[in-house]
Amino acid sequence: MTSLDSANGPTVTPTPTPASERPDISELVVGVLGGTGDQGRGLAYRLAKAGQQVVLGSRSAERAEAAAAELGLGVRGADNAQTARESDIVIVAVPWEGHGELLANLAAELAGKIVVDCVNPLGFDKQGAYALTPEEGSAAQQAAALLPHSRVTAAFHHLSAVLLQDPSIDSIDTDVLVLGDERAATDLVQALAERIPGMRGIYAGRLRNAHQVESLVANLISVNRRYKAHAGLRITDV
């Protein structure tokens, strides 16, 4: 066992940014790739409801426009490439199976953008969910490898799409673990998470430690089955 408290090595992290000093992201455009899926649509809904400008992306512009019209709240729809071009922050909410190919094809459009990967590589069999291990270590590290000119972060892994999409729920009681190697980018993504009532954005390490955060969804699925819940995470003492 390694004690949590016995973290050796130099502490290179500067002091935390108080929530009140978070960057102002209210004018930034947020794109959601895979925005017609349950999780993408749920995130688009919550962010638009919070007043963020949102573009919902899909392979098909028509399907994206239809889904955007259904959401209302000023959400626009576009194909994935157009979504990437129009956005400052791009959330990647596509199935793991198409993740690498999609990002490789969008490398030019995503250059200079903040990319927020929220993909969980999981397999399923009769015993439930289990973690897949991408060759690069994690979905987020695969994104970073494919998008050398983007500012890649990882976040929003543990959200229930059911809760996100339920209009009768105003506040979602969970912390969003935000990972990344660039402080300015993770600060922005923490601020984005905190646009959604009930959520806190908590910095939780570098991209090299993304795999366990992505995979923890397998455990939360076990929790959900056992307790008939929509489990989320809170970090205590922060």
Q: Which of residues 9-28 bind a second copy (CB under 8 A)?
A: 9-13, 16
**Footprint (CB under 8 A) of a second copy, residues 211-230:** 211-213, 215-230
The residue from 126, 167, 168, 170 that contacts a second copy (CB under 8 A) is 126
Query: What are the angstrom distances between the C-alpha of 151 and each of 60, 79, 147, 223?
Result: 26, 21, 8, 33
The residue from 143, 160, 189, 199 that contacts a second copy (CB under 8 A) is 160
Residue 108 corresponds to which amino acid? A
Strands 151-154 and 128-131: unpaired
Size of the site for a second copy (CB under 8 A): 81
Stretch that binds a second copy, among 54-62, 73-81, 108-116, 125-133 (CB under 8 A): 125-133
The residue from 19, 130, 149, 171 that contacts a second copy (CB under 8 A) is 130
Token pair in block for residue 104: 């490789």
167 binds a second copy (CB under 8 A): no
Token pair in block for residue 154: 């990882």
6 binds a second copy (CB under 8 A): yes
Beta bridge partners of 92: 33, 117
Token pair in block for residue 60: 């098909």
The residue from 52, 71, 185, 203 that contacts a second copy (CB under 8 A) is 203
> What phi and psi, each to the nearest 5 degrees, are found at residue 151?
-105, 95
Token pair 């050796």 is found at 8
Q: C-beta of 67: minimal distance to a second copy in Å? A: 16
154 binds a second copy (CB under 8 A): no
What is the helix (H) or strand (E) element at residue 91, kind and residue range? strand 89-92
206: which DSSP letter?
-
100 binds a second copy (CB under 8 A): no
The residue from 68, 106, 115, 159 that contacts a second copy (CB under 8 A) is 159
